[in-house]
Structure 1
Amino acid sequence: MNPLTAVNAAILGYLVATNTFFLMLLVAAAWELRTELLTYRGDSRWRLLSSSAAPTVSLLAPAHNEAATIAESVRSMLALHYPKLEVVVIDDGSSDDTLRVLIDEFRLVPLAPVFRQSVPTRPVTALYRSQTHPHLVVVEKQNGGKADALNAGLNVASGRLACAVDADTLIESEAIQRLVWPFLTTTDTLAAGGTIRVVNGSRVHGGRVVQPRAPHRGLGGYQIVEYLRAFLLGRLGWNRLGGNLIISGAFGLFDRAAVLDAGGYLLKTVGEDMELAVRLRRRAYEVGRPGRVVFVPDPVAWTEAPETLAVLGRQRDRWHRGLADVLWRNRGVAFHPRYGTLGLVGYPYFLLVELLGPVVEAAGLVILVVGLALGATDLDFAALFFLGAYGYGLCLSAFSILLEELSFHRYNTMRDRLVLLGWAIVEPLGYRQLTVLWRLRGLVKYFRGRSDWGVMQRRGFGDAATRATRDQPPAPPRKPAPGAG
C-alpha cells in the first residue's frame, strides 16, 4: 500500500468510526425519545405547569436595532401558555426606533431602576413596565453586545428560571411548559434546551408558525436536515450518555441562581451559550454536586436560517470559532476523571470529532483527489471512501427525518417528507464540503485571534424588509430616559 492510500485508509477509518458513533447516538436518541414521550405527560407533576405552583420563568430577549419586528416578537412571547411568565426585553443600545416601538405598542411607563447588580454590565439607563401587560419589563442600556445584554436581563429578572431567546425567535405556545419539566423532575438540572427548527418556507401568521413547510429551493432545505440531525440525533442521544455540552442561544432555560453564581455570560467569546453550559457543569463537578444539562425534544422554537452563502458561511465559521474558544477555555476538563462523563466522553467527542473533524475530512478529500490524479489511488478504494462518507451521512439524515415523522409530525404532508428526503440525498454532495471549508476558515480565524460576529442579514418572518443584526462595539453613552433616576 502506497503512502497516499495508507493515509486515506486511516482517514476512512476515522470517518467510519465517527459515523458508527453517530449511529450509536441515533439508537440512544430513539430510546431517549421513547422514554420522554411515554413518561412526562403521564406524570402528575405535569399539572403543576399549568398552575400557580409553577416556578416563575423570566424570558430574556436581547434586541439591537430590531424595530421592524420587535413588536410582533414580543406579542408572540406574551401569548405563550405559561402561568408565571415574565418577559424581559433588553434594548442593547439600539440606534433605530426599537425602544420607541416598544413604548408605543405596549404603553410602557418608567420604573425606578432599582435592582441588584449581581453581574457587572454596561450601564442601564432606564427600566420600563407595560401598562397593558404588567409582566413585560423593558431594559434600556448602553450597547455591550448580546452577552452583556443577557447579563443585564439576569440582574433585572425576578424568575427562578431564566430563558434566553433571540428577539427574532418564534416559540411554540406550550414550549416553556415542556422546557421547565426537567427542573421539576430532578434537583440537579442546571440548564435545558429545546429544539430549534428552520422557519424558511413555512407559513407564519401572528407570530406563530401555522404551517411548517419544507422549501423547494434555496439553502433552507439543507439547514432543515442539518438541524433535525443535530437536535434529534446529536443532542437527544447525548442525553442518554450524559455528555451534553450545548444549549442553543436561541432557546435555552437556565437555573438563574446558578448562572449568577457562575458570573453570568462571558463577554469575550462568540460562543457564550455553550461556554455557559460547560462552565455550569464544570463548576458543579468541582463543588461535588454534578449537575445536568439536558435537551428536551418537544419544546420547539423557530428561527430564520441564512439564505445566502456569504451569510451562512459567516455563521458557520463563527460557530466553529465559538467551539474552539469554549474547548480551549475548559481544556482542564479534557480526559479528567474528576469531571465524569463531561471530561471522559463529552469533551473528547467535541474535540476530536466536532472541532477536528473538518480538518480530517478536508485532508481526506485533498489526498483522495491528488491520489487519483497521480494514479496512486485505485478507483475501488475511491468508491469505498465515497460510500463510507456519503452512505453513512445519508443514513443518519434519513433516520433523523424518520424520527421526526414518527414522533412529532411537524411536516405532515407526503410532499414535505419527500422534499426533506431529497435534501438529505443531495446535502453531502457539495453543501457538506462547503460547510467543511467554512468551519476550517473559522478555525484559522480563531488561531489568528479573530472574534468578530460579522453581519447577519435576515428577511423577517412576514413581509418585513431585510435587516442586518450584529453585536456592535460599545456605543457612546446615551442620556438616561426620563424617570430613569
Structure 2
Amino acid sequence: MYPFVFLIDKENGGKADALNAGINFSKYPYFASIDGDTILDSDSFIKIMKPIIENTDDEILATGGNVLIANGSKTSLGKVNEMLLSKNPLVVMQVIEYMRAFLIGRIGLSNKNLLLIISGAFGVFKKSRVIQVGGYLTNTIGEDMELVVRLHRKNIEENWGAKIEYVADPVCYTEAPDSFKYLKNQRVRWHRGLFESLWAHRKMIFNKNYSSIGFIAMPYFFFVEFLGPIIEFLGYVSLIINITMHNINILYSFAFLILMIIYGSFFSVSAVLLEEWRLEKYKKISELNRLFFYSLTEAIWYRPILTYWRVVAIISIFLGQKKGWGEMKRKGV
C-alpha cells in the first residue's frame, strides 16, 4: 500500500542510533528528523525545503521548522483539525513559551547564521554533510543540538560557507508534558543536553577562529542559557531572605515586581499576537484571551519553577550524576 515507506527493525539503541540507521538507509540528498509524536501540516515538507530549493548559490546544511503544542486540539488520522488550548494551565504556559522561543528567538539567530538548535521534533539535514561529521552521537542526551553545533564547527573549519536556517512557516505539532513530574524530567534533560553540547565544543567559546559563532552564539548559550538560571535563582532567594529580615522596601519592591511582570509579559503577548496574526491557528477569541491572561502570570509562578529545575540540572552536572532521558509518559494527541 505504501511502496516508499520502509520499517527498519533493529535492536533498541536509543534515538540517536535509530536516526543513524535511518540516515544510512536513506537514498536522497536530504533527510528529515521527526519525533514519533510529531504531527505535520500537509505542506510542512514543502515549506521547510524552501530555503534549500531557492538558495541555489548557498549551501544549506539544515533547516528547522516551527513547533506548536497540540494538547487540547482536535486531531484525527494524523492531522490537526482544530487548534484548541488545553484546560491545563501548565500546558498553556508551554504554548506561550514555544511561541516566544520559536518566533522571536530562533528567527533572530537564524538571520545571522547563529542558530545552534534545530528541534528534534522536525528538522531537515543535508545527508552528505551529516555523514561527513560523523552522524548523531549516541552518548549524549542532547543529540539534536550537538549535531547542529558540530555542523557549524566543521562549516567554519573546512570553509564550506554553508548556512543553517530556521523557517517559521512549516508547522509541526507535538505533545507537551501535562504534569509537573514529566515537565521537570523534560527540562532537566534539556539543560543537561545543552551543557553536553557546549562542553563537547568548548574550544569554540571566545575563539576568534570561529567568528560570530565563537564570540556570540556559544557564549550566549553558555552564560545566559546555561548559567543564567543560577543568577536568577539567587535573586529569588535573596528577595525572600530580605523580605523575611525586613531589609527591603516593600513598596519599591512591589513596584519593581510589577515592572518585571509587564516587561516579561510584553514579549510573551507580542509573540502570541504575531503568531496568531501570521498563522491564525486559534479561531476563538476566548482562546486568545486565555493566552494573554496566562502570559501575565508567567513571572509569578511558571518561570521560577523552570529556573529551579534548571538549577537542579546544573547541580546534578557538577556532582557528576549520570542521568538518562527520564520517564516521559505520553497520552497521545
- Residues 436-447 of structure 1: matches in 2 within 5 Å? 436-447=307-318
CA-atom RMSD in angstroms: 1.3
Partner of 1:348: 219
1:157 maps to 2:157: no
User: Normalising by the residue count of structure 1, what TM-score does the alignment of the two structures yield?
Assistant: 0.66
Q: 1:201·1:220 contact (CA, 8 Å) conserved in 2?
A: no
| Counterpart pick for 1:330 among 197, 201, 224 | 201
Moved more, 402-411 or 386-395: 386-395
> 1:218 Cα deviation (Å)?
4.0
The amino acid that maps onto 1:133 is Y
> 1:410 Cα deviation (Å)?
1.0
1:138 maps to 2:10: no
- Residues 212-251 of structure 1: matches in 2 within 5 Å? 212-251=83-122
Distance 2:252 2:163 in 1: 44
Q: 2:262·2:296 contact (CA, 8 Å) conserved in 1?
A: no
Q: 2:65·2:122 contact (CA, 8 Å) conserved in 1?
A: yes
> 1:393 Cα deviation (Å)?
1.3
Distance 2:260 2:311 in 1: 18
The amino acid that maps onto 2:127 is R
Distance 1:355 1:313 in 2: 16
Q: 1:203·1:213 contact (CA, 8 Å) conserved in 2?
A: yes
1:185 maps to 2:54: yes
- Residues 445-484 of structure 1: matches in 2 within 5 Å? 445-447=316-318, 448-461=320-333
| Counterpart pick for 2:237 among 333, 353, 366 | 366
Change (3 A) 1:297 1:370: same
- Residues 81-480 of structure 1: matches in 2 within 5 Å? 132-186=1-55, 187-447=58-318, 448-461=320-333
Distance 2:155 2:228 in 1: 29
The amino acid that maps onto 1:457 is K
Distance 1:221 1:402 in 2: 15
Structure in which a larger fraction of residues adopt helix: 2
SS of alignment partner, residue 136 of structure 1: coil
The amino acid that maps onto 2:68 is R
> 1:184 Cα deviation (Å)?
1.7
Which deviations, in whole Å up to 9, do the C-alpha atoms of 1:111-147 show, x marking residues without a partner? xxxxxxxxxxxxxxxxxxxxx1111011111111000
Distance 2:189 2:329 in 1: 15
Distance 2:214 2:53 in 1: 27
Distance 2:211 2:283 in 1: 41
Distance 2:179 2:116 in 1: 29
Distance 1:217 1:136 in 2: 36
User: Normalising by the residue count of structure 2, what TM-score does the alignment of the two structures yield?
Assistant: 0.96
Shift >3 Å, 4+ stretches: none
Distance 2:136 2:27 in 1: 17
**Structure 2: 5+ residue stretches without partners:** none
**Structure 1: 5+ residue stretches without partners:** 1-131, 462-485
Q: 2:48·2:64 contact (CA, 8 Å) conserved in 1?
A: yes
Distance 1:294 1:451 in 2: 31
Distance 1:330 1:385 in 2: 39
Q: 2:64·2:119 contact (CA, 8 Å) conserved in 1?
A: yes
Which deviations, in whole Å up to 9, do the C-alpha atoms of 1:171-218 show, x marking residues without a partner? 111000111111122322111100111001111011100000122334
Larger Rg: 1
SS of alignment partner, residue 264 of structure 2: helix
Change (3 A) 1:388 1:355: farther
